[in-house]
Amino acid sequence: MAVPPKPSTQSIPLYRAYSGAATDHFYTTDYAELRQSLTEGYSVERTPCNVFPTKTELTVPLYRLYTRQYTDHFYTTDPDERDRAIKELGYVSEGVAGYVYPRQECDTIPLYRTYSSSATDHFYTCSESERDRAVAELGYTNEGIAAYVLPDGVL
């Protein structure tokens, strides 16, 4: 089980959970929300990275959306993409998951975005090998870099 974050004005963990029954990856900075997801059939996976809880210099919002129809959580930094997902695809805004960098900055790493159309699942990881395995073995499509984040453990 993941450890709750220490109070920090710096970066905080972006926790990852997965529901095999729903084929949904879920990401949150809220430890209580992570624990709640366990009662809803999710299991905790590795923490892919750290993000900022509030806007800091050069960061942008990482918007969190959800569709109950397909049980899919979707994250984007693009407000136009967020708005299209809401208007055209039936997603509902769940606010801002955290703040991330839109471009490579010192000490940041890519947060890769993949998508499975057969499972209607967005999957995000900072591991190139995990991304490549999802594409090669699990039927996901590589959608590039969603944002730049801090490595796990950097508070």
pLDDT for the residue 73: 97
Amino acid at 94: E
Q: What is the band of 154 on the pLDDT scale with cuts at 50, 70, 90?
A: low
Domain spans of the chain, in order of start: 12-151
In eight-state DSSP terms, residue 140 is -
pLDDT for the residue 48: 84
Question: Could you read off the pLDDT of 19-55 as tens digits, one per residue?
Answer: 999 999 999 999 999 999 999 999 999 888 999 999 9
Round to whole Å and give the CA distance between 62 and 52.
Answer: 10
Q: Is the pLDDT of residue 155 over 80?
A: no
pLDDT for the residue 6: 43
Q: Is the pLDDT of residue 127 over 60?
A: yes
pLDDT for the residue 46: 85
Q: How far is CA 80 from the centre of its chain?
A: 18
pLDDT for the residue 4: 44
Burial (CB count <10 Å: 0-12, 13-18, 19+), residue 120:
middle
Burial (CB count <10 Å: 0-12, 13-18, 19+), residue 30:
middle
Residues of the chain above pLDDT 70, percent: 92
Question: Could you read off the pLDDT of 64-110 as tens digits, one per residue?
Answer: 999 999 999 999 999 999 999 999 999 999 999 999 999 999 899 99
Round to whole Å and give the CA distance between 34 and 43.
Answer: 9
Amino acid at 117: S
